Amino acid sequence: MMLGFLLARAGVEVLVLEKHADFLRDFRGDTIHPSTLELMYELGLLDEFLKRPHQELQELRGQVGRETFTMADFSHLPTHCKFIALMPQWDFLNFLVEQGRRYPGFHIEMQAEATDLIEENGHVVGVRIATQHGIREVRANLTIGADGRHSVIRARAGLPVVNLGAPMDVLWTRLSRRADDPGQTFGYVDRGKLLVLLNREDYWQCAFVIPKGAADEIRQRGLPAFREEIAKLVPFLRDRVDELRDWKDISLLTVAVDRLTQWSRPGLLCIGDAAHAMSPIGGVGINLAIQDAVAAANILGPALLQGTPSEHDLRAVQKRRMFPTRATQRLQLIIQNNVIRRVLGSTKPLTLPWFFKLFQRFPYLRRIPARLVGIGFRPEHIHLPAQDLH
């Protein structure tokens, strides 16, 4: 959506295809990072964007056993917004659609599912789509596979994937929030358990991290046992865990960390989760997808205004974005293997590790995780100019 908007803003004809009728899906990534907010500022859209309902997260805090600590402080970032904005993904996407519609080249078709690639002489020249009115062909100078971590486009293109593995899955749910609850977003860690609570004002968005593949076993133990696990880990939630009445209230995210070794073929480029599914650590999936879109617009926009980008242009996008992808995934794997795996495998009460104690002693150290999470590696900036609408 972001790439569609940026290209249409520059004067390129774009058709965005979306298989669903709307964007209303719960428990999608809702974190808009300072680097994404900075792009909104560069586009002159920040004030309008921040008028949408959102919450602002200035710090990331945690509790190990009984000890609390702050691990990231965004207040020193060199960006206009020194916070992560929590906004439902459908609001963010609808905002981008509204912005895109200001440009004549922007088109979007809902309930249009790409099912296959159309190829001619070794070039991808479009996609076949399934709509309510049957199968149709859409032809284009360039096809972008931005269809997420279960990408049909990347599968049909036969692009090679490296799976990096993950020791955990996540159960997402929500519990009501009371006025006298702690205000901050918090990660609670204790023997074998990890629960992250995101403050969404009237409710807590809860991410319960479980060992990979353990969801069935947890379901078999039953809801009362699951409620008790949450209440034991975070006692102030005990008076409302009964709100979880059905497993339908709890969504499973099967965590996958992977990346393509080749992101393009003649006429086709994959970006975002379709090119690299990220671990949920740091909540950076949206940010990386947005950064890919900006890099792709900067690199391919000029060529698309003339016609068809070359294979060299397409490879240049991968070249630009591979380093941040690899570096972020490397960090995520280190945390997965050294922290998450250890926490999930522990049977004894946990104490705060020494490096988190350092964050308490030397608060400026909290700026490092803040920068890695809030801005990340190689932040992109808007270089593709807007077309003159007058």
Whole-number Å distance between alpha carbons of 9 and 148:
23
Binding to ligand FAD by CB under 6 A, coded x per residue (else -) over 123-152, reads: -----------------------xxx---x
Residue type, 326: R
Please, what is the angle between helix 285-306 and helix 34-42, to 10°?
Answer: 30
Q: Is 113 in the site for ligand FAD (CB under 6 A)?
A: yes
Closest separation between CB of residue 348 and ligand FAD, Å? 30
Closest separation between CB of residue 219 and ligand FAD, Å? 17
Residue type, 87: M
27, 49, 95, 186: residue in contact with ligand FAD (rule CB under 6 A)? 27
38, 73, 273, 313: residue in contact with ligand FAD (rule CB under 6 A)? 273
User: Which of residues 67 and 116 has its CB atom nearest to ligand FAD in the complex?
Assistant: 116
Whole-number Å distance between alpha carbons of 49 and 37:
9
User: Which of residues 265 and 352 has its CB atom nearest to ligand FAD in the complex?
Assistant: 265
Q: Is 18 in the site for ligand FAD (CB under 6 A)?
A: yes
User: Which of residues 268 and 352 has its CB atom nearest to ligand FAD in the complex?
Assistant: 268
Residue at token pair 């358990």: 193
Q: Is 20 in the site for ligand FAD (CB under 6 A)?
A: yes
Binding to ligand FAD by CB under 6 A, coded x per residue (else -) over 311-350, reads: ----------------------------------------
| Candidates 18-26, 237-245, 306-314, 382-390; binding stretch for ligand FAD (CB under 6 A) | 18-26
6, 17, 206, 299: residue in contact with ligand FAD (rule CB under 6 A)? 17
199, 287, 291, 328: residue in contact with ligand FAD (rule CB under 6 A)? 287
Q: Is 229 in the site for ligand FAD (CB under 6 A)?
A: no
Report the chain's C-alpha Rg in angstroms.
22
155, 253, 339, 386: residue in contact with ligand FAD (rule CB under 6 A)? 253
| Candidates 26-34, 155-163, 326-334, 342-350; binding stretch for ligand FAD (CB under 6 A) | 26-34
How many residues touch ligand FAD (CB under 6 A)?
Answer: 28
Closest separation between CB of residue 310 and ligand FAD, Å? 24
Query: Using CB under 6 A as the criterion, which residues of the chain lie in contact with ligand FAD when the complex forms?
Result: 17-20, 27-31, 113-114, 146-148, 152, 172, 253, 272-274, 278, 280, 283-287, 289
